[in-house]
Structure 1
Amino acid sequence: MTDTQSGWQYLDYTNISVTAGEPFAITCEASRARPPVVLQWVTTKGLSAVHHNQSDVIQDGSYISRRTLIITPSRNDHGKILSCITSHPEQQKNIRRSISLNVHVLPASVLLFPTGGNQSQSIVIYVQEDSPTSITCKSIGSFPATELSFWLIVDAFERTPIIANVSRLPVDVTISIPCDMFEGAETNITCKTLNGYPAPLIHWYVGSRNLTDNSSLESSLNAANRYDAASTLTFIPTRFDHMKRLLCQAVQPTITSTVVSVKNSMVLNISNFPSATTISFQQQTLPVIGEDFTIECSYSPSSYPRSVQWRHEDIQVASESCTSTSSCTTTIPNPTKYKLMGDDRSTSLTIINLTAVDNGRYACDFLNKSGLWSADETIQVLSPVPPSRVFVSDTQSVWQYSNNANISVTSGEPYNIICGANRARPAVVLEWLIPEDVTVVHQDQSDDIRDGSYISRKTLTVTPSREDHGKILICIASHPELQKNIRRSVSLNVHVLPTSVLLFPTGGNESQSTVLYVQEDSLTSITCKSIGSFPATELSFWFIVDAFKSTPILANVSRLPVDVTICIPGDMFEGAETNITCRALIGYPAPLIHWYIGSRKLTDNSSLESSLNAADRYDAESILTIIPTRFDHRKRLLCQAVQPNITSTVVSVNKSMVLNISSQQRGAMSVMKQ
């Protein structure tokens, strides 16, 4: 386990210092596994926590898995335990890692006043020259006790510490237990305190029972001239101590304030006296016919010897008996139907290839020398259902695109595209197919349970280049209930921003000067030139009156059409006359439209109409009349919108499609647009 603030890796049951009211991110990580480990955080009731989704990154042929928990602790969360549980098919038992919260509370206020005087927040203290003055510094509301020191401020650049023997509570109190606690077995428990003055006393309690006489105490002076103290309690627990609170109290009798001690406590878990056993479903899966399904029986605390038995409608299907953590015997009468895994606090039963016969009540029986505990749950196996919808959208607009739609993206800028599938059981498997040389990052698929089915999403982050214009991205959705996979595709419409924009006298030097010299009452021709954009940039002139006002200057600027589309009214049949329409929008002046099949030019067989739109640009429409032959099948039909008076290297915008010519033998064929 690590935290994002320091990046440190913590040992098991380490104390992590956090500040009350401030968010703190803790990450559970598992490295070099195949397949990825499943990570799950277990938090204490009442703790404010936000669970993030697990990430699985491929590195050197294996997975690095991480799951982050963001907590916002309160003072009442001090000493609470957070546990991360890892499960993997190759582990005989789940691995559990835990940390304890050491919650710090900042002072509500700090007061400086004459000892015995009014405890106000005044910043002025009156003293008499050459006479001793006792001044008290008081911190209110912090936990643990604030470390106080006095400094004499000489000026804004210099201050001098005032050395004083200030009585103070220890900064921190920690309790450590070397191993699990067993009924009747002697256990040494250590309590340590740091930076007290003078050396503190340490008292021990279990519930209201004072056990200080059963402890030892040692103190040492540290480098800060403060005392560190360690006390060891020798303790033989009984079953009656189970779930009672163990308290370590560091006392500073020389302190005259109302707070004279610092405490830390923990709840005792005495093995061989377990609490009630619980059984729970895995949160990430649904019981679907044909799928594997896992239920988990958890018990606390761990104890040995013990045995766990699983029953389906009172028929034993699996059992496990353990004399220690490393010595367990598993019995599964039908190993092709059931699989058993567990750790020292839980056992999970996996039902392989669910069928309707697997409906019914499942019971978990937990037995140790203290008694028998049982819990049960009823499973209703669900029928598989194909997805109701498969779609492509983006995180920027959240639009759902129609199949084969164009998505406008900017060259060099990352863009997130999502493939989604709704209301399926089991979860749909989503896969992106990407052309070569397109820079993409594949995100892990997410499968969320909602109303008894799965909502699946798989995100692709694409960073396109100019060369990726027109390339097609395809998402394939596969599911056991689909006769064939569903494909949804989008085409990249890559926009390239201009590398520069120049404004200069027509025919003059094309420099990047910001000054143009013109003559009053004389016509001046000014050229605005955009370099390096794709498609052609729409240019307009504006006269800047001042910082708050600008006026557009109307000018007839030549430009290519924004979009070219081809429309066929229906299937195309060999020998049957067909009218195909090509539209080009927002060009200036009115563009020309040419037609080609392969290298054969067919423009003479077409008509052309243009109209001025509301933006004072031209929309053009051309209709090609064609009688296709079987030799035209699978050839490329090209519509080319040409702007001959544009002086840049790009003088046309094209749209093409592959012809599918139907005949009696082949039947109807679909049209593939590109």
Structure 2
Amino acid sequence: MDKSSREELHLRIERVTLEDDGQFECQMLRPDEGPIRAAAYLNVIVAPKMVHFTNYQSGTMIEVNEDIPLNVTCAAPNSKPEAIIIWYVNGQKIEDGIQRWSSYNLNKTVSSFAALQWRPRRNDHKKVLTCEANHDDSSTQIRTNLTINVLYPPDRPRILMLSGDSFVRAGDNVTFVCVVTGGNPPPDLSWYLKGRLLSARYQYNIQTQETMNTYSFLAEPDDHLANYECRASNKKGQEPQTRTVHVKVAYAPQGVEMIGESNVRQGSFTVVQCRTKPSNPISRISWLVNGHPIPATVQSEHQQMHGFIAVANLTINTNEVMMGKHRLTVECNARNDEGSASKQHVIKILAPPLPPRISGLEDGIHLEGHVLNVTCEAHGGNPLADISWYRGYDKLPGARSSVSGDSAISSLSLTLDRTMNGQRLKCEAMNSALDEPLVDSKQLNVLFEPRRVMIRMPEGTRHQLIAGEEAKLHCLAAGSNPNAHIIWHFYPNGEPNPLIFTGETILNET
């Protein structure tokens, strides 16, 4: 204190602190007036020492998603009086979306807060968010900054075709260019076909902020109307931006399929179907039968995933077609502007043979024990006949088969015995053109002699001959063909010249 006079008293405070903030009172005593008081107030100004973000580190770059609200709180603590907080984006003051409040401290200072709610857009990428604390009483101004890294998806891809024409021919080179603008971070750009990755090689242009992926291939039939997809994505778990493109590929038919019978009986009808494999444009079907063109038939057309197929049926009357060697060659030709394809279908014509003929029995004398050589021949037919031999109902083994020209021949050797006499020797000719075999048969006439001759007395008579009485004798000859002719020779008294009698012949056919 400094007392200049009895009437003045000065108070000097050095190194003022917050503890000095408040009311000071000066009191004087006069004997005639009593005590006199006067008050003075000391307002201690405290400038803010710092300003900071409560949930982010000052001076850093923060990542935010586009259109997702960003909540940032800025604090200017321990000032007196309170500091005023102002928000800026790239130097432009923000007025909206700010909530302010203060917190009073026991030491009479005030902490100021300002919360900013803001929806960054993609054009806010790399902008600077500034929090400024102004303290007019101390002429103090403090700032702190954040840099905004706005994450946003790319634009939808654009696809260019370098040839400029979406119509190509098989074997042509096709180049697709997929371009995407924007996106933070720059997107991955890939080509896909039916979900299969084709190319993930892309380039990013910093100046234009464009990402580009170029894919080239040689057009094939399966590429016709196939959807080539370009996908752009810069965030895992997020649906990519996509765009598809397709080309129209012209190509020749890739082949022909024919369906029909391979074996047909002479005189019947048969249907042959021709089905083209895919082509673009549609193929036209024409027919050749044994090299001769046939008027075009009605064809049906069916669109497939990568082209068109055509189907036509041809009905053939085997009686109306000239053929050689019992076969028909049917050819189907499919053609469009890009080329052609063809295929042949061979039909075997099944024809019956002529009735078989047995030879070798022309000589009517066939003696028991002799070997009989017979031949059965069936002329013509397709295929040639299979020949079988039967005696009665029994099939005979050991036949020898051969082919002579257009005839099937079967030879059989039989050792004749008397049991074969009167039986029928049968030759059957069969092929796939017949439902029942064709037959020729001959009856066997086997000549054989009786095996024994016996002389007997009639039953019921004495086995004695009495002179002067009539006697009856039986001569029995076993079976033969032809029937045996019985002659009696008697040699009376041992004379060399016999007496010959024919007697009465009785046939027993049992």
Name the TM-score, length of structure 2 as normaliser: 0.28
Q: Which structure is richer in relative contact order (CA contacts within 8 A, separation 6 or more)?
A: 2
Name the TM-score, length of structure 1 as normaliser: 0.22
Q: Computing the radius of gyration over CA atoms, which structure comes out larger, 1 or 2?
A: 2
